[in-house]
């Protein structure tokens, strides 16, 4: 009787606190994910009542699509550059706003503000800046690299997207680094100072090794955001000029919903998921080993 009552009590607790989140997770994540995988094996166009089983034909079509690999290459370039520069800028800002100068909390809030702006609005704002503000400044100051809009140049448009992404995400990553820096005991830096260590030596020998968990989180979040960016890509460049800024998320969306090739689009989405998952697992595993060594 006691065991039965305990089991019933546990069931009541689960139904009260665990069932709704589990149901929402299954409904929003698990079921659509399984349906998406099944769709990759059919010729369903997303609207018809019938479909035919095709096996792995959609995957073959995705893997042999040159535009898919072009977008993947563009995305990898974007991810690598954004990953490095975003975290360098974020860590620099974190060091700045924890240095103890007057009004640092105001600057901390200011640096974080761009992260609160939606990607669509952000893209339109920066589209105006690149098309009007920078070109006007370039003509007035006779700076050739700003005399024409970067958004119309296939060689510069991707860099415009990178700049906007760094400006948007650096403030968020900064807060993670600020938390890591605040978690370092002041006694460690004081001891290093007494031993004659300079600020640079303290930074590389004391602070950065203790900041590895913060680096792990920030690199993972930056990696995930960079691979999945769509809204800013849409509003800033729409993949132009000549698809030179069409990142993989936009390519997958266009394939499935614009060109109505739902099966190949879903197959490309699953390939993207596998690539991101593998890279993320490797990144976290490597950083965890560094944490242990540090």
Tokens of 216: 């792990």
User: What does 62-125 look like in DSSP terms, one character per residue?
Assistant: HHT-HHHHHHHHHHHHHHHHHHHHHHHHHHHHHHHHTS--TTHHHHHHHHHGGGGS-HHHHHHH
Distance in angstroms (rounded) separating the CA atoms of residues 211 and 215:
6
Asked if omega into 217 is within 30° of 0 (cis), the reply is: no
**What is the arithmetic mean of pLDDT over 213-239?**
93
Give the residue with greater pLDDT, 120 vs 48.
120
Beta-bridge mates of residue 42: 53
pLDDT band at 179 (very low <50, low <70, confident <90, very high): very high
pLDDT band at 4 (very low <50, low <70, confident <90, very high): low
Distance in angstroms (rounded) separating the CA atoms of residues 262 and 162:
29
Q: Is the pLDDT of residue 292 over 70?
A: no
SS3 142: coil
- Parse the chain into domains and list their residue ranges: 66-293
Distance in angstroms (rounded) separating the CA atoms of residues 179 and 185:
12
Q: Is the pLDDT of residue 2 over 80?
A: no
Average pLDDT score, the chain: 89
- Own/partner contacts of 144-151, CB < 8 Å, gap of 24 or more, are 151/127, 151/236, 151/237, 151/240, 151/241
pLDDT band at 1 (very low <50, low <70, confident <90, very high): very low
pLDDT band at 3 (very low <50, low <70, confident <90, very high): low
Q: Which of 150-164, 181-195, 242-256 has the lowest mean pLDDT?
A: 181-195
- Work out the percent of the chain whose per-residue pLDDT is above 90: 54
Tell me the per-residue pLDDT of 112-131, one tens digit each, with 9 for 90 and over.
Answer: 999 888 888 999 999 999 99
Tell me the per-residue pLDDT of 95-115, one tens digit each, with 9 for 90 and over.
Answer: 999 988 888 888 888 999 998
Q: Which helix (H) or strand (E) holds 33?
A: helix 31-39
The CATH class given to the 66-293 domain equals mainly alpha
* Cα angle for residues 27, 263, 78 (degrees, 5° grid): 85
């Amino acid at each position: 009787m006691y065991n039965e009552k305990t089991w019933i009590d546990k069931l009541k607790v689960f139904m009260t606190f665990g069932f709704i989140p589990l149901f929402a997770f299954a409904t929003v994540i698990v079921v659509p994910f399984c349906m998406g995988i099944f769709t990759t094996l059919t010729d369903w166009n997303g609207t018809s009542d019938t479909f035919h089983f095709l096996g792995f034909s959609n995957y073959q079509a995705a893997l042999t699509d040159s535009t898919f690999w072009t977008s993947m290459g563009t995305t990898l370039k974007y991810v690598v550059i954004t990953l490095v520069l975003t975290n360098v800028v974020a860590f620099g800002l974190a060091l700045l706003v924890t240095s103890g100068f007057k009004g640092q909390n105001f600057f901390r809030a200011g640096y974080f503000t761009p992260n609160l702006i939606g990607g669509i609005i952000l893209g339109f704002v920066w589209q105006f800046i690149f098309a009007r503000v920078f070109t006007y400044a370039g003509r007035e100051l006779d700076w050739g690299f700003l005399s024409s809009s970067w958004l119309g140049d296939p060689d510069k448009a991707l860099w415009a997207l990178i700049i906007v992404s760094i400006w948007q995400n650096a403030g968020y990553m900064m807060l993670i680094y600020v938390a890591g820096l605040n978690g370092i005991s002041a006694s460690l830096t004081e001891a290093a100072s007494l031993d004659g260590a300079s600020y640079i030596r303290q930074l590389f020998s004391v602070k950065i090794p203790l900041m590895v968990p913060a680096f792990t989180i920030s690199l993972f979040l930056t990696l995930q955001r960079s691979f999945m960016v769509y809204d800013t890509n849409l509003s800033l460049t729409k993949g132009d000029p000549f698809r030179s800024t069409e990142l993989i998320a936009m390519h997958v969306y266009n394939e499935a919903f614009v060109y109505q090739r739902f099966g190949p689009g879903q197959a490309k989405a699953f390939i993207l998921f596998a690539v991101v998952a593998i890279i993320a697992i490797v990144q976290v595993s490597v950083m965890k080993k560094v944490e242990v060594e540090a």
